[in-house]
Structure 1
Amino acid sequence: MEPTGLMLPGGFNPDRDPVPGEASTTPPIVWGPRDHRQIPFPANRSSRKSDLPTFCFRFRSRLPVAMATSRLGVGETLGALNAALGPGGPVWLKETRARHLRARDFLAPRRALQARFGDGQVPERVVHAVAGLQGPGVAPVLRCAPTPAGLALQLQRSAVFERVLGAVAAYAAPAVSASPGPRVILHCPALRGAPCALRLSQLRAVLVADHLSRALHTHGVSVRLVPAVRDPHMLTFLQQLRVDWSAASERAATEALRSSAFAKLTPANDRGALPLGVLGRVCLKELVEERGRTAGYDPNLDNCLVTEDLLSVLAELQEAVQHSPEDSSLGLAAAPDAHADSCMVVHVVSCEEEFQQQKLDLLWWKLDDQAPLRQKHLVCGPVKVAGAPDTLTAPEYYELRHAQVCKASALKHGRDLAQDPAWTETFGVLAVASIKFEMLSTAPQSQLLLALADSSISTKGTKSGTFVMYNCARLATLFEGYKRNMEQGLYPTFPAVNSLDFSLLQDEGEWLLLFNSVLPFPDLLSQTAALACTAPGLHITARTEMVCKFLVQLSMDFSSYYNRVHILGEPRPHLFDQMFARLQLLRAVRKVLHTGLAMLGLPPLSHI
């Protein structure tokens, strides 16, 4: 008897060869109840485009009511697809490129299938299981077919449009976990100085900490920010940057730490040998050896000079650990050591501050028996400026970007609007958007190279924050145009969403916006807030670059679609159905865009 399965062809490179799903000369195979034939993957490819091959499995049954009301998810769909293949690691991939999405939405690559099924065949039962896939959060499947690239799957796109666009708010928010995890204390040492001394690498750490705080808050995680800012000039600068950070009310008490420090100071025969203002010296070598250099501590750590300022820093961290917020799952009567065990301290530091921060960690453990066991370092890489001195400070960088925004606006509008109160906030938002997208679009641990030329803030440059804000304003103009025409009686009022015909959304740019932007947005928010709380080692990474990259790509896809498709057409009744379906899609895009900007502390703009 012939083995049942899908034969996998060799020699195909999906990145080099034409898009799978093109016409094939392989004859279609019709399955009977007892058929045990192999399903060969098509190897011949012509230049003529067509749909998926005819030998594919289709599934069109309606979903149960309870299932139809749940939010669709990329993660849930991928999980179900991988489970359908049986035991083993993940195989399925979500497509993102427009040229691939013309033929498929998900792909199980040929080589991965060969590795999974050894003999080069995918069992018939597996293909049937994938084609009939259902489950909470799983997108409805239209068909599953073998292609030269592997097993290709296409969704019931009209049904997906209907499910997603009928519940837009659900896709602009993360799924808040019932158990959000430990409390997080975000410590950013750069905020203890004055803004005039703030280096660009320190500014990067501040912006990373602020963005991470917003992401964690969105997921229901209790976050405490340290230090509370004392310098009024720093507070003003943070407000300019739209960084949400707490201000100081009173200084934490240091008496207990001082007593512990004096008890553990290294004896010194000559107290006058210590620098002025230093209380004593503490040896950290033993702690470094105890915790292991493999954890990431610098092997050169030895002695630490204890000062009043250092004890003040530790006292503030100590108070933050012991602080029990009202929403804490521990309750107000929790024991002090329970607070330390239930929280994680994340020190967000520039690479220049890392060595000193490691000293502080070890000193805290040395002096305080209740110091939290989980202390992690999120170290931000260096910031280099092309063609500029390394002495450029954060306020100087802000003033430069603000002046460039004002200059670009004057060139666009033909007059200087910098003194116009109506534009003051707009220019400030654009300057901050430019800075945040520059600082946050690169993974925080990587080196960042800044270009200070005027062209870096142009709305024509697709990588800039001003480009994202420009498209945000275009969306606002679009909906304002619809509202104005409706008030003039040219368009009818917006109909109920459940009456819209989403089968009219046939343009590939429309599916690109929904499938790459709206549908995966909740998963993106979850990944941004993910911290490896229990991972070994001193250092931790965060995906703070994801939101900026996502918003840039969303803006590029929207801009391409908006430039090509006329949304607000002529006021003719037979055109209204398609117009309203498109407007509902762009409502979802706008909601996602505004939510993403809020994660960066940026308000949406209606004009530029």
Structure 2
Amino acid sequence: RHRVQLLPTLRSDSDVENFLQRLGVDWPSTAQPSPNQDTVSGFKRLLSGSCYTAACSPGIAHESSHDALSEGVQFKVRLKQILEERGLQGYDPNLDVFLEVEEENLAEVTELKEAVLKVPTDNLVKWSLFSQDSPGGCMVLHIVCSEGEFQQQKIDLLWRILDAGTCTSNQRHLVCGPVKVAGCDSPVNTSQYVRIRRSQMLEASLTKYGDVIQGESWDDLIGVMTSAVVRFEMLAAAHRSPMTVDLTEEASVSTKGTKGGAFVMYNCARLATLFESYHRSVQQGFLYKAASHTSKKKILLIFPQGEWLLLFNYIIAFPEVLGHSGQLLRPARGTRVTANTEVVCKFLVHLSMDFSSYYNRVHILGEPLPHLFGQMFARLHLMRAVQEIFIHALETLHIPPLNQI
């Protein structure tokens, strides 16, 4: 488990905040976020006397330079110097001088520092996340688009100059590729994107279930499904690569398709419905008895050949899949890290395909006859393991499992 502090604090009612809220992401926000001016002023004083400072604005004394700066610029800072002195690797080779250090840059560093101070020292991503259990007790993960990586590396190095703490020495960058839209002639913002996916999710549900799709409970369910579909779509793309949001009719959301989050969530819900039906029958006392604690050896002997696919390819393989995906907090040379969320998404899609094929072929809750109970219990144990894989895999993506369809 990791303790996480999220930055930056978003302005209330901003497009980003509204988008995150619709996805069920609890990101801190405030009406008017503002940095601690005392800390900003302290950073100014530090830079005015720093050996890394090449120039400063009028009114701030500095013995080595009187270069004129453009309005709003406070300092020019030699970044290449700290790179060479500390032997830092993986940074852009074009980093030389931070030509225009403005007050907003110092405010950004201030917010980073203050966030670290709020977290207990033993529990230590800007779009940074502060996480415990990383080397040195704290890691700062800068999540940036490819166009913003160069600027964020400047902030990284500026913070190292201003505050030589543990966290500043353990900064990493998760770089995301651009987002492209297919199937739409005009630009699409985040609100329109979510609205289109919700409309598609509603249409898919109406096609499958008909007129029962109405009322507040169904509205909530469509909202949960839409959030899951959007999250899954974004996390299924390798973060380093461009992500294409396909809004064409051919790419419409469907619980029958085998590529997206809707299909995964639908099959996760099928399992929940299966066990709900079984337990309801047991409680009513006229169909099945409660599953016995059949030994693993007996369960394996009962399995038909086709069920080994789920066991070997998914249940046994799941820890290895998590190992491939969980590289974010591992020590790495250089500044970049990788989050292989697409590995988990691909695993879930393939699991959904094979589980769906199995579920449509095999009648798990068979006739309530005593001589068939052994096989039924073995299949229920298998389905319980598959359900746990669905739940845990979705949890790694911060997507809550769906319990009804």
Select 1:243's aligned residue among 25, 31, 34: 25
Select 2:293's aligned residue among 471, 474, 496: 496
Select 2:12's aligned residue among 231, 239, 260: 231
Select 2:255's aligned residue among 436, 453, 459: 459
Aligned to 1:446: 241
Give how far 1:541 is off. 1.6
Give how far 1:492 is off. 1.4
Give how far 1:428 is off. 1.2
Aligned to 2:131: none
Aligned to 1:541: 338
Query: RMSD across aligned C-alpha pairs, in angstroms?
Result: 3.0
Moved more, 536-545 or 572-581: 536-545
Give how far 1:230 is off. 4.0
Which amino acid is the alignment partner of residue 408 of structure 1? Answer: A
**SS of corresponding position for 1:392:** coil
Select 1:511's aligned residue among 296, 299, 308: 308
Select 1:583's aligned residue among 374, 380, 388: 380
* Cα pair 2:159 2:168 within 8 Å, conserved: no
Q: Could you report, residue by residue, the CA deviation over 1:299-345 in whole angstroms, capped at 9, with x for unpaired residues? A: 1653332222211110121223344427539xxxxxxxxx9954222
Call closer, same or farther: CA 1:390–1:278 in 2, change over 3 Å. Answer: farther
Select 1:259's aligned residue among 20, 35, 45: 45
Which amino acid is the alignment partner of residue 412 of structure 1? Answer: K
Select 2:208's aligned residue among 412, 432, 449: 412
Q: Could you report, residue by residue, the CA deviation over 1:318-374 in whole angstroms, capped at 9, with x for unpaired residues? A: 223344427539xxxxxxxxx995422221111121121112112222333336222
TM-score (norm 1): 0.57
Select 1:400's aligned residue among 176, 185, 196: 196
Distance across 1 between alignment mates of 2:297 and 2:83: 65
* Cα pair 1:322 1:340 within 8 Å, conserved: no
Call closer, same or farther: CA 1:477–1:535 in 2, change over 3 Å. Answer: closer
**SS of corresponding position for 1:239:** helix
**SS of corresponding position for 2:341:** coil
* Cα pair 2:303 2:379 within 8 Å, conserved: no
Structure 1 residue 525 corresponds to structure 2 residue 322? yes
**SS of corresponding position for 2:255:** coil
Distance across 2 between alignment mates of 1:434 and 1:532: 26
Distance across 2 between alignment mates of 1:538 and 1:445: 14
Aligned to 1:380: 176
* Cα pair 2:183 2:248 within 8 Å, conserved: no
Aligned to 2:127: none
Distance across 2 between alignment mates of 1:588 and 1:448: 33
Give how far 1:232 is off. 4.4
Distance across 2 between alignment mates of 1:386 and 1:237: 20
Call closer, same or farther: CA 1:342–1:491 in 2, change over 3 Å. Answer: closer
Select 1:360's aligned residue among 138, 155, 166: 155
Distance across 1 between alignment mates of 2:56 and 2:111: 27
**SS of corresponding position for 2:77:** strand
Q: Is the radius of gyration larger for structure 1 or structure 2? A: 1
Q: Could you report, residue by residue, the CA deviation over 1:19-77 in whole angstroms, capped at 9, with x for unpaired residues? A: xxxxxxxxxxxxxxxxxxxxxxxxxxxxxxxxxxxxxxxxxxxxxxxxxxxxxxxxxxx
Aligned to 1:137: none
**SS of corresponding position for 2:319:** helix
**SS of corresponding position for 2:168:** coil
Distance across 2 between alignment mates of 1:561 and 1:375: 46
Give how far 1:391 is off. 3.4
Distance across 2 between alignment mates of 1:542 and 1:369: 27
Distance across 2 between alignment mates of 1:485 and 1:582: 17
Call closer, same or farther: CA 1:503–1:519 in 2, change over 3 Å. Answer: closer
Which amino acid is the alignment partner of residue 445 of structure 1? Answer: R
**SS of corresponding position for 1:450:** strand
Which amino acid is the alignment partner of residue 262 of structure 1? Answer: S
* Cα pair 1:266 1:283 within 8 Å, conserved: no
Call closer, same or farther: CA 1:499–1:306 in 2, change over 3 Å. Answer: closer
Call closer, same or farther: CA 1:298–1:461 in 2, change over 3 Å. Answer: farther
Q: Could you report, residue by residue, the CA deviation over 1:540-595 in whole angstroms, capped at 9, with x for unpaired residues? A: 22222222112111111111111111111112111111001101110111122112
Give how far 1:421 is off. 0.5
> How many residues are treated as equivalent by the alignment?
378
Distance across 1 between alignment mates of 2:271 and 2:329: 37
Q: Could you report, residue by residue, the CA deviation over 1:472-505 in whole angstroms, capped at 9, with x for unpaired residues? A: 1211222222233332501112223448830344
Q: Could you report, residue by residue, the CA deviation over 1:224-243 in whole angstroms, capped at 9, with x for unpaired residues? A: 33223343444443232122
**SS of corresponding position for 1:384:** strand
TM-score (norm 2): 0.82
Call closer, same or farther: CA 1:271–1:441 in 2, change over 3 Å. Answer: same
Distance across 1 between alignment mates of 2:135 and 2:306: 50
Select 1:558's aligned residue among 355, 363, 367: 355
Which amino acid is the alignment partner of residue 537 of structure 1? Answer: G
Give how far 1:251 is off. 4.0
Aligned to 1:69: none
Distance across 1 between alignment mates of 2:190 and 2:390: 27
Aligned to 1:472: 268
Aligned to 1:87: none
Q: Which runs of 5+ in 1 are unaligned?
A: 1-219, 330-338
Q: Which runs of 5+ in 2 are unaligned?
A: 59-65, 125-133
Distance across 2 between alignment mates of 1:379 and 1:476: 37
* Cα pair 1:283 1:302 within 8 Å, conserved: yes
Structure 1 residue 221 corresponds to structure 2 residue 2? yes
Distance across 2 between alignment mates of 1:257 and 1:224: 22
* Cα pair 1:304 1:363 within 8 Å, conserved: no
Call closer, same or farther: CA 1:443–1:259 in 2, change over 3 Å. Answer: same
Distance across 2 between alignment mates of 1:242 and 1:317: 24
Q: Could you report, residue by residue, the CA deviation over 1:99-131 in whole angstroms, capped at 9, with x for unpaired residues? A: xxxxxxxxxxxxxxxxxxxxxxxxxxxxxxxxx
**SS of corresponding position for 2:104:** helix
Distance across 1 between alignment mates of 2:322 and 2:263: 22
* Cα pair 1:500 1:580 within 8 Å, conserved: no
Aligned to 2:226: 431
Distance across 2 between alignment mates of 1:555 and 1:315: 46
Give how far 1:380 is off. 1.0
Distance across 2 between alignment mates of 1:583 and 1:534: 41
Call closer, same or farther: CA 1:341–1:559 in 2, change over 3 Å. Answer: closer
Structure 1 residue 313 corresponds to structure 2 residue 108? yes
Aligned to 2:62: none
* Cα pair 1:347 1:375 within 8 Å, conserved: yes
Distance across 1 between alignment mates of 2:294 and 2:382: 11
Call closer, same or farther: CA 1:292–1:428 in 2, change over 3 Å. Answer: same
Give how far 1:508 is off. 3.1
Distance across 2 between alignment mates of 1:289 and 1:387: 48
Distance across 2 between alignment mates of 1:323 and 1:389: 46
Which amino acid is the alignment partner of residue 210 of structure 2? Answer: G
Give how far 1:443 is off. 2.0
Give how far 1:531 is off. 3.2
Which amino acid is the alignment partner of residue 304 of structure 2? Answer: D
Give how far 1:285 is off. 4.2
More helix by share: 2
**SS of corresponding position for 1:266:** strand
